């Protein structure tokens, strides 16, 4: 004979609650045997109340002695740089480092391409890239842009698998 649905619901609710109660009792008993249930907590010190401060304000911390500074390690001598390179590096505008090596660039706001030559979209979480014309290219929002599929492969990304035909 079949049981009523209400009994089945009660039983499925009662069994987990009973298990939780037994587990809580076991933990409390173990803590009580070790004496850590009451001994583990220490009371907070009372707050001092002065006429110019209220109890809500925190007392001033005691000064702590500063640790002695460690001696700086000996620095390596700078390499000689050709004058033409040094001048070019100073006068050239600072470009942000590409996020995944040469041929990559971070997206603009909204995931747009930073320049027309960046046409391959990359997703960082999955390390998959989408070339123009591949599946889901138009609906994918890029986390990183690449100039070519070879640049994306060199950065460790794999091509999006083609759509399965049913």
Q: Identify the residue with better confidence: 6 or 26.
A: 26
Residue 18 lies in a domain: yes
| Domain ranges, residue 114 | 104-159
pLDDT digits (tens, 9 = 90+) for 31-49: 777 765 555 556 677 777 6
Overall number of domains in the chain: 2
Residue 73 located in a structural domain: no
Portion of the chain with pLDDT greater than 90, in percent: 28
- Between the alpha carbon of residue 127 and those of residues 38, 85, 139, the distances in Å are 53, 36, 17
- Give me the pLDDT at residue 26, please: 87
Question: Strand, helix or coil at 77?
Answer: coil
First vs last Cα of the chain: how many Å apart? 46
Average pLDDT estimate for 127-146: 92
Give the full edge-to-edge strand order of the sheet including 104-105.
104-105, 144-146, 120-123, 128-130, 158-159
Predicted structure pTM score:
0.42
Once rounded to an integer, what is the mean pLDDT over residues 97-120? Answer: 88
In a domain, 11, yes or no: yes
Q: Do you know the residue count of the chain?
A: 166
- Whether 99 maps to a domain, the answer reads no
Flag whether 67 is in a domain.
no
Strands 104-105 and 144-146: antiparallel
Neighbours of 105 (CB within 10 A): 20
- Backbone φ and ψ for 128, nearest 5 degrees, come out as -120, 140
Whether 25 is in a domain gets the answer yes
């Amino acid at each position: 004979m079949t049981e009523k649905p209400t009994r089945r619901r009660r039983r499925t609710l009662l069994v987990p609650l009973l298990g939780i109660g037994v587990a809580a009792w076991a933990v409390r008993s173990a803590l009580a045997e070790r004496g850590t249930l009451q001994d583990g907590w220490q009371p907070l010190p009372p707050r001092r109340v002065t006429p110019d401060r209220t109890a809500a304000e925190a007392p001033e911390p005691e000064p702590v002695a500063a640790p002695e500074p460690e001696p700086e390690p000996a620095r390596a001598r700078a390499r000689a740089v050709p004058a033409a390179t040094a001048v070019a590096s100073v006068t050239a505008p600072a470009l942000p480092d590409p996020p995944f090596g040469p041929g990559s660039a971070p997206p603009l706001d909204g995931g747009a391409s930073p320049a027309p030559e960046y046409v391959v979209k990359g997703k960082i979480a999955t390390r998959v890239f989408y070339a123009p014309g591949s599946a889901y290219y138009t609906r994918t929002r890029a986390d990183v842009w690449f100039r070519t599929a070879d640049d994306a492969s060199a950065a460790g990304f794999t091509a999006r698998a083609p759509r399965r035909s049913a």
